[in-house]
Chain A
Amino acid sequence: GAGVSQTPSNKVTEKGKYVELRCDPISGHTALYWYRQSLGQGPEFLIYFQGTGAADDSGLPNDRFFAVRPEGSVSTLKIQRTERGDSAVYLCASSSGGGGETQYFGPGTRLLVL
């Protein structure tokens, strides 16, 4: 079946604008994760959903970042009042939801804040 998909693949915005990044997980996966990756670094955890609820949002850097998963499938990461430091690749991953399971990553959305 299809893997994790993310849209858009690239997003360019201006400082102060609002952006939404979308993630379509693998069908049937109950767990969904958002990570952020800066150039030359490994991905950094942002938030984890189990079903519709955010089970762990400890990685969100501040209150400008918010994510939702209203129906337990597609998720949207929302960034308000973007700053140049938000420029990064935003990765989404999903897993079956059990313990210690493999996470399957999407290709990411490359966000550039000018």
Chain B
Amino acid sequence: LAKTTQPISMDSYEGQEVNITCSHNNIATNDYITWYQQFPSQGPRFIIQGYKTKVTNEVASLFIPADRKSSTLSLPRVSLSDTAVYYCLVGASMDTGRRALTFGSGTRLQVQP
């Protein structure tokens, strides 16, 4: 399984752009890169998923370089409600094999007013 490494915590202020980088040196050819967000007392919530280059949706962008050994989650103009733990995951494979998600410890983002 590809292991992921991401910062333990980050601080930001409302209105700023936040970039959280995750390294996954051992990513496999068939692995997707997925980011989840988790608020206290809730289950993780899917944010974005990509395989290569750039993916953008209504809440975030995901940048993946050509070697796919890292990825960066970009949150534009964060608000207080973006304070949460963000998990980078690798391993939701495109094949029909292993489906389980492997979570690390995540990055605790604290947004200040």
Contact = CB atoms under 8 A, between A and B. Distances in A.
Contacts of B95: 99
Give the secondary structure class of B's interface. Answer: loop
- Contact-residue bracket for chain B: 20 to 34
A1 interface: no
A42 B104 CA distance: 5
Contact of A42 (B93, B96, B100, B105): B105
Interface in B47-101: 49, 85, 87, 92-96, 98-101
- Contact-residue bracket for chain A: 20 to 34
B41 interface: yes
A56 B92 CA distance: 14
Given A101-B92, A105-B43, A108-B43, A33 B104 contact: no
Nearest to A43: B103
Interface in B14-36: 32, 34
Interface string A22-59: 00000000010101000011111100101000011011
Contact of A99 (B42, B46, B94, B104): B94
A103 B45 CA distance: 8
A2 B96 CA distance: 27
A21 B53 CA distance: 41
A100 interface: yes
A92 B46 CA distance: 14
Contact of B100 (A59, A92, A104, A105): A59
A103 B93 contact: no
Contacts of A44: 103
Nearest to A47: B100
A71 to B, nearest CB: 20
24 contacts: A4-B43, A33-B99, A33-B101, A40-B105, A42-B105, A43-B103, A56-B98, A56-B99, A56-B100, A58-B100, A59-B100, A93-B101, A95-B99, A99-B93, A99-B96, A100-B49, A102-B46, A102-B49, A103-B46, A103-B92, A105-B43, A105-B44, A105-B45, A107-B42
Interface of B: 32, 34, 41-46, 49, 85, 87, 92-96, 98-106
